[in-house]
A and B are shown apart, each in its own frame.
Chain A
Amino acid sequence: MKDRVIPIVALLAVMPAMPASAHTGSLAGGFLGGLAHPVLGPDHVLAMVAVGLWGAFLGAPAIYLLPIVFPLVMAVGGVMGIAGVPLPGTEIGIALSAIVLGLMVMLAAGPPLWVATLVVGAFAIFHGYAHGAELPPGADALAYSAGFVIATGLLHLAGIAFGLLSRWPTGATAVRTAGALIAAAGAFFLFRLA
Chain B
Amino acid sequence: MSAAVRSSLVLALLVVPDAALAHPALPGIGGFWGGLLHPFVVPAHALAIVAAGLLVGQVIKGVPESARWNGPAAFAAGLVAGSIAIACAFVPVHANEALLGLAALSGIWIAAGRIPLHLTPLLIAGLTGLVVALDSPPDATLLREALLMQIGTFCGALALFTALQEIASRLRRGWQHVGVRILGSWTAASAILVLALRFAK
Which of A67, A68, A72, A83 is the one whose CB lies under 8 Å from B200?
A: A83
Evaluate whether A72 and B197 lie within 8 angstroms (CB atoms) in the complex, with A11-B176, A146-B186, A150-B186 already known.
no
CB 8 Å contact bits of A34-76 with B (1 = contact, 0 = none):
0000000000000000000000000000001001110110111
CA distance A141 to B200 in the complex (A): 13
- Contact present for B179 and A78 (CB under 8 Å): no
B189 — which chain A residues lie within 8 A by C-beta?
A: 71-72, 74-75, 78, 145, 149
A14-22, A86-94, A103-111, A177-185: which lies at the interface? A14-22
The answer to whether the Cβ of B117 comes within 8 Å of any Cβ in the partner chain is: no
Taking each of A84, A131, A149, which has the highest tally of chain B beta carbons within 10 Å of its own beta carbon? Answer: A149
- Contact present for A71 and B186 (CB under 8 Å): yes
CB of B18 to closest CB in A, whole Å: 15
Residues of B96-121 at the interface with A, using a CB-CB cut-off of 8 Å, are: 100, 108, 111
CA distance A34 to B40 in the complex (A): 20
Evaluate whether A141 and B186 lie within 8 angstroms (CB atoms) in the complex, with A8-B175, A146-B47 already known.
no
Report how many residues on chain A are interfacial, defined by Cβ distance under 8 Å.
42
The answer to whether the Cβ of A143 comes within 8 Å of any Cβ in the partner chain is: yes
- Contact present for A71 and B47 (CB under 8 Å): no
Evaluate whether A8 and B46 lie within 8 angstroms (CB atoms) in the complex, with A22-B40, A142-B194 already known.
no
CA distance A118 to B152 in the complex (A): 47
B151 — which chain A residues lie within 8 A by C-beta?
A: none
Q: A30's closest neighbor in chain B, by CB? A: B43
Q: A83's closest neighbor in chain B, by CB? A: B200
- Contact present for A146 and B197 (CB under 8 Å): no
CA distance A146 to B50 in the complex (A): 13
CB of A72 to closest CB in B, whole Å: 5
CB of B97 to closest CB in A, whole Å: 11
Q: A64's closest neighbor in chain B, by CB? A: B178
Which of A15, A25, A135, A150 is the one whose CB lies under 8 Å from B193?
A: A135
Q: Identify 6 residue pairs between A and B in the complex whose beta-carbon atoms are under 8 Å apart, listed by A's number.
A: A11-B176, A79-B192, A82-B196, A131-B193, A145-B193, A146-B186
Q: B49's closest neighbor in chain A, by CB? A: A19
CA distance A134 to B152 in the complex (A): 37
CB of A32 to closest CB in B, whole Å: 14
- Contact present for B50 and A153 (CB under 8 Å): no
Q: A27's closest neighbor in chain B, by CB? A: B43
CA distance A87 to B183 in the complex (A): 28
